[in-house]
Chains A and B, each alone.
Chain A
Amino acid sequence: MVIEPPTYLLHWRSRVYSIIGLIVLLVIIVILAVTIGSVHIPFSATIGILFSRLPWVDMSPTWTGTLETIIFDIRLPRVILAGLVGSALATAGATYQGLFRNPLADPYLIGVAQGAALGAVIGFMLPPAWHSIGFGIIPLLAFCGAVVSTAVVYNLARVGKTLPATTLILAGVAISALLASIVSYLVISSGEKIHGIMFWLMGSLSLSQWSDVIVTLPYVILGVTIILLYARPLNLAQLDEDQAQQLGINVERLKLVLMAAATLITAAAVSFVGIIGFVGIIVPHAVRLIWGVDHRFLLPLSVLTGAVFLILADMIARTVMAPTEIPIGVITAICGAPFFLYLLRRRRKLIF
């Protein structure tokens, strides 16, 4: 009998290299995304502008102040917000898919999207006086709507002290349908505001500012950190609940913590940019196809891949038909679906 296990069994090394590689890729993509846009900026200028802001770099500017404004106040917050939203949606999607052992789960599974939509639409319908408070009433109401609707779904689905996954999903579908009908009614009766509402509902990053990034960042960091800490218990949740409990997992607490964290980051993500579909379902699957099902790697790799994917999608959305912007949801679906199908056909292996 061999006493020591062969070291290759867990593929830890190659997966750690993948994480490092993706971090490098993310940095490159960020630089690329702030360079490319309707105003032409030389690549060297972008590098110079970005690096001159680092505290230990001393550089005399060879570029105009306008370029610096475009990069710093227009493109960079947008790119960072895209990255945050992509990370949040991909991580939340991976969490829900793992928690409910359901490959069709996405971040909007339990009513977050329609709750946020209702909140946002109400925000749009409020008289203009309301819109002058602080950083914006629409993200605030969207966030509240998302959290409240998820809480309602959670409480409706609870049976005694337990939370059966099927009941939860069904309650989520029912509440989403109910909220969607209210949203549709409000949209139709919204008059001239319909354009802004539709733009929000389809998702857009065009109004991103630094203040959005600053508000979203703490939620995403907190939620993602919690989820990453629970990666090993999430692996055990892939077994049935009996086995997970017999292996020392408090399944009900695991569900509550992970759902709260995933809801938090999803709500924070959709509040400013609207409902961007497809990221939360496709990124985790792509990661699973490439790197496997172990959540200790699936989750961090989803965080990074989600950011890369959404930054690229947003870059395409604002450049291909410039100056007209394509809704980012259209891009995520058009780019994501074929890529996903390609992965599905190429690697016919067990992925879930």
Chain B
Amino acid sequence: MIKIEAQDVCLSYNRKIVLSGLTFQLRPGEMVGLIGPNGCGKSTVIRALSHTIVPYSGKIFLDRQDITRLPRPDLARLLAVVPQMPLLPSAFTAFEIVLMGRNPHLGLFQYEKQKDLTIAWQAMGKTGTQPLAKRRVGELSGGEIQSLLIARALAQETKAILLDEPTANLDIGRQSEVLDLIKALCREDNLTVLAALHDLNLAAQYCDRLILINNGQIYAEGTPGEVITADTVAAVYGAESCVYKHPANGLPCVLLSADISRNNSDRRKNLEDTR
């Protein structure tokens, strides 16, 4: 169980501030969704939380420890990241990739023991990737790689998982499988979960709380019902939509309205204004 806390964090690329004043908390057993338009900085937040980039100002704490002071293996035993479409060495087998998740648990002079192999294998079982074990990564599809990366994060045996677009390459069946699994882990093992998602409907269905980022700041934060409204969708994404309640569980569903009365150049201008 681990709590992640961002305090007034500013993030920059090449000395240009891209995100500022980020203050939020992620608690164990709660699945939080990070949403916002393309390029709003969802991935940047995940990179900062995993100490891949250092904040321009502000601090990020993992159970009151400043993450920039944690040695990398220690951090990797507490927090795993499922990156979005990363570079993978195509000649490695799927099993070897998942086994890399055991690295933070091994010293420089140690090799993987039977226990590590078993943990990696079970992580592959949970994500349904065992049949891929012998295949080379270069031969796998985007969806298979996505599941493999989740297996690698599970093999890390961390207390928190950050996921960057975990459903980006998946069909609707695999989307629900992956998010069901993550939600189950979050509930049963009391994991702290943050998932960057661009599909608002998936975010609304699965997340307990949503953080909506726009124009380099947190635009809204709260339950899916509070954050996803027709007004915020119009203001943040520049899209006309209707927001309904899901007939089964009352969570918000976003339906896009094609606006044929507005001509295309108007629409594009509108989009540019909102960015």
B88 touches A232 (CB 8 A): no
Asked if A192 CB lies within 8 Å of chain B CBs, one says: no
B108 touches A246 (CB 8 A): no
Is chain A's interface secondary structure helix, strand, loop, or mixed overall?
Answer: loop
Q: Shortest distance in angstroms between A272's beta carbon and chain B's nearest beta carbon?
A: 31
Given contacts A246-B52, A292-B91, contact A239 B100 (CB under 8 A): yes
Which of B129-137, B197-205, B257-265, B267-275 touches A? Answer: B129-137
CA distance A243 to B92 in the complex (A): 15
Q: Pick from A1, A5, A292, A296 the residue with the most CB of B within 10 Å.
A: A5
CA distance A229 to B1 in the complex (A): 33
Residue of A nearest to B54 (CB): A161
Please indicate the chain B residues that have their CB under 8 angstroms from the CB of A246 in the complex.
Answer: 50, 52, 76, 79-81, 83
Interface residues of A in 1-49 (CB under 8 A from B): 1-6, 9-10
Please indicate the chain B residues that have their CB under 8 angstroms from the CB of A2 in the complex.
Answer: 121, 125, 130
**How many residue pairs at the A-B interface have CB separations less than 8 Å?**
110
CA distance A199 to B92 in the complex (A): 42
CA distance A3 to B122 in the complex (A): 6
Query: Interface size bucket, B side?
Result: 35 or more
Q: Which of A239, A248, A293 contacts B91 (CB 8 A)?
A: A293
Asked if B96 CB lies within 8 Å of chain A CBs, one says: yes
A250 touches B72 (CB 8 A): yes
Q: Shortest distance in angstroms between A24's beta carbon and chain B's nearest beta carbon?
A: 24
Residue of B nearest to A293 (CB): B91
Q: Shortest distance in angstroms between A134's beta carbon and chain B's nearest beta carbon?
A: 37
Query: Interface size bucket, A side?
Result: 35 or more
B103 touches A242 (CB 8 A): no
Asked if B73 CB lies within 8 Å of chain A CBs, one says: yes
Asked if A247 CB lies within 8 Å of chain B CBs, one says: yes
A242 touches B52 (CB 8 A): yes
Asked if A240 CB lies within 8 Å of chain B CBs, one says: yes
CA distance A243 to B95 in the complex (A): 17
Asked if B106 CB lies within 8 Å of chain A CBs, one says: yes
CA distance A351 to B138 in the complex (A): 10
Q: Shortest distance in angstroms between A248's beta carbon and chain B's nearest beta carbon?
A: 3
Q: Shortest distance in angstroms between A159's beta carbon and chain B's nearest beta carbon?
A: 11
B122 touches A350 (CB 8 A): no
Instruction: Give residues in A with beta carbon < 8 Å to B.
Output: 1-6, 9-10, 101, 229-230, 232-233, 235-236, 238-243, 245-250, 288, 292-294, 296, 349-352
Q: Can you list 21 A-B pairs with a CB-CB distance of less than 8 A?
A: A5-B117, A5-B118, A9-B93, A9-B95, A232-B108, A239-B100, A242-B50, A243-B83, A246-B50, A246-B76, A246-B81, A246-B83, A247-B76, A247-B103, A247-B156, A249-B72, A249-B103, A292-B91, A350-B91, A350-B136, A352-B89
Task: Other than A242-B50, A242-B83, A351-B91, give 13 A-B pairs with Cβ distance below 8 A.
Answer: A1-B122, A1-B130, A2-B130, A230-B108, A243-B86, A245-B72, A246-B50, A247-B100, A247-B104, A249-B72, A249-B103, A294-B96, A352-B89
